[in-house]
Structure 1
Amino acid sequence: MGLQWVILSYVVAAEAALAIMLTLPYPKALKSRFVSLISLILQPSLFIVPFAAFQLLDIYWKNEHRLMCTGEICTAAERDRYDKSIYKAQRNAILCTAACLLYWCIYRICKYHKELSSMEEEEKRYKDQ
């Protein structure tokens, strides 16, 4: 069960690195090649959105069917275990949300750069006429 969270953690780290690399200033030629490379990677990496959504549904289902440990009958160890599971669920929900949000940010950054380059080309054509 922990492997899926490790994979999701690595994907979020990679997405964060790509988002940072996309926002750094580069020469125009290098930037356009880098954006086109990332755009090619975006379509196959779309799997992360349904994967993260499924993980969020799994967290929700487990939260709804979790045994509550709030009464006097719970020992301190059981209460600590319950609290730890709640914190892990919250961490994993943030991880899933971050994966979807970072994917969307990378997509929008790439789309912005493509639109900007097409506008620059159009402006260049109008100046040449």
Structure 2
Amino acid sequence: MALQWMILAYVVAAEAVLALLLTLPSPKLIKSRLVSLISLILQPSLFIVPFAGFQLLDIYWKNEHRLMCTGEICTAAERDRYEKSFYKAQRNVILCAAACLLYWCIYRICKYYKEIQSLEEVEKRYKDQ
């Protein structure tokens, strides 16, 4: 199970780097090539959305079927273990949400940049006429 979370963490880190690269100011030629490259990567990397959704379902299932440790029968070690697992689940929910949100942001940034390029081409054609 830890491997899945490690993969998701690396994907979120890579998405954050890509979003940073897309939002940094750069020359037009470099920006257009970068956007076209990232656009090619976006479709195969769409797997992250259902993967994160499945992980969210897994967290929900485990949360619903988790043994509660709230009575006097629980020892301090059991209570600590329960709280630690609860905090890990919260961290993993944030990780899943970040993966989906960053993917969507990268997709929208690329789409907006392509729309801007097409509008600039139309404007250039009208100026030439």
Q: TM-score normalised by the shorter chain: which range applies?
A: over 0.9
Q: Which amino acid aligns with 1:42?
A: L
Aligned equivalents of 2:77, 2:30: Cα separation in 1: 56
Task: Report the identity percentage.
Answer: 84
Residue 18, structure 1, aligned to residue 18, structure 2: yes
Q: Deviations over 1:27-78 (max 9, x none)?
A: 0011000000000000000000000000000000000000000011100000
Q: Which amino acid aligns with 1:29?
A: L
Query: Structure 2, unaligned stretches of length 5 or more?
Result: none
State the partner residue of 1:121: 121
Q: What is the number of residues matched between the two proteins?
A: 129
Q: Which amino acid aligns with 1:15?
A: E
Structure 1 stretches of at least 4 aligned residues deviating more than 4 Å after TM superposition? none
Provide the TM-score with structure 1 as the length reference.
1.00
In the TM superposition, 1:59-98 aligns within 5 A as 59-98=59-98
Query: Structure 1, unaligned stretches of length 5 or more?
Result: none
Aligned equivalents of 1:125, 1:52: Cα separation in 2: 44
